[in-house]
Amino acid sequence: MDHDNHLSRKTVLKAALAAGASVPIAMAGVPALARTARDSGGSPVFTPACDDGDDPTPAQTEGPYFKPNSPRRTSLVDASTQGTRLTVTGFVFGAACRPIANVLLDFWQADTNGAYDNSGYRLRGHQFTDAQGAFSLTTIVPGLYPGRTRHIHVKAQAPNRPVLTTQLYFPGEPRNSTDTIFDPELLMTVRANGPAREASYDFVLNVPQSPGPGDPSDPTDPPTGGAWKAGAAYRAGDRAAYGGRSYACLQAHTAQAGWEPPNAPALWRAQ
C-alpha cells in the first residue's frame, strides 16, 4: 500500500470527526473503526483496525491454560464474579476491510486474582460475530500473575478458515514494558464508564475478500455524476451537485443520509 498517496478509511474518519462532520456509527464501506459508542451515542474510539491493506491481527502464543469446548455465551460473569466489570466490543474484518459474519471467537482469561479456572469454565466462553461482523463480550479486568501483564486470550476463526490465536492488552499497564511477548498492535482502546471499563478492538483476519460497492478497487462501480444522492457509490475525483454548489469527492464511499457534502468535508471539497 502507498502510505504517502493513499487516503485510508481510518484517515477519512479521523478527519471527519476532527472537522465536526456528522459520521454515522455504521459507516458503510469505511469499517476501520471500533464502535465503542454504538449504544451510548458518544464519539467512536479508534483502535488497531483494518486499513486498506494493513497486516492482519498478529498471532500470539496460546499459553498453557486453553480448554476446548467452552460454553457459548457473550457474558463470562455472574452476580458472584469479583472484579472490575469490562465490556469489550468490536468487529472482525477480512483482507478487503469488509466485515465477516459467523466468526468463532473463543475467549479465556485469569480472574481478578490472576488465576485461571482449569477445572471448569469460569471466565471462559465462545460466541459468533453477527451479520455485521460485530461482537460484544462482558467480562472483568483480568488480574496479574508473575511474568505477565494484563491480557485476554482469544481464538478467532472465520468459517472454513484457519484459527488465529492471539491476546489482547490494556494500555497504560506498567508491566507492558517488561512482558516479553507484549505487542502494542494488540492494545485495546479502554475507557472508564463509572466503576466499570469499556474496551474496543477490531480484528483483521487473513481471509480473502472481493471488494464491495464503493471500494476504490471495485472496477464494476462506474463513476457517478449529477446531483448528490444517498445510496450512490462515489469514487475519488467524482463530482456531485448539492445545494447549488459543485463538490469533488475526496475518498471513495457509499453516500448516506448525514453525509451530504457540506456536512462531510473529509469526503467532499467545494469547487
CB of 50 within 8 A of CB of 215?
A: no
Q: In this predicted model, what pLDDT tens digit does every residue of 193-239 receive, in sequence order?
A: 999 999 999 999 999 887 655 454 444 444 456 888 888 888 888 88
How many other C-beta atoms are found inside a 10 Å radius of the C-beta of residue 201? 27
- With pLDDT > 90 as the criterion, what percentage of the chain qualifies? 54
Residues 6+ apart with CB under 8 A from 176: 149, 169, 170, 182, 184
Same domain? 84 vs 8: no
Q: What is the mean pLDDT of residues 35-59?
A: 50
- Torsion (CA) 67, 68, 69, 74 in degrees, nearest 10: 70
- Helix and strand numbers, DSSP H then E, in the chain: 1, 14
Distance CA(153)–CA(109), nearest Å, equals 6
Same domain? 219 vs 172: no
Residue 187 gets which letter from DSSP? B
Per-residue pLDDT at 4 exceeds 60: no
Q: What is the pLDDT of residue 268?
A: 87
Distance CA(126)–CA(73), nearest Å, equals 6
Same domain? 143 vs 91: yes
Q: What is the pLDDT of residue 36?
A: 34
**16-20, 97-101, 176-180, 225-229, range with the lowest pLDDT:** 16-20
Same domain? 133 vs 64: yes
CATH number at 67 reads 2.60.130.10
Q: 243: domain range?
A: 1-23+212-271
Where among 204, 222, 257 does a domain terminate? 204
Q: What is the pLDDT of residue 38?
A: 37
Q: What is the pLDDT of residue 163?
A: 97
Same domain? 193 vs 245: no
Q: In this predicted model, what pLDDT tens digit does every residue of 151-192 receive, in sequence order?
A: 999 999 999 999 999 999 999 999 999 999 999 999 999 999
Strands 151-157 and 163-169: antiparallel
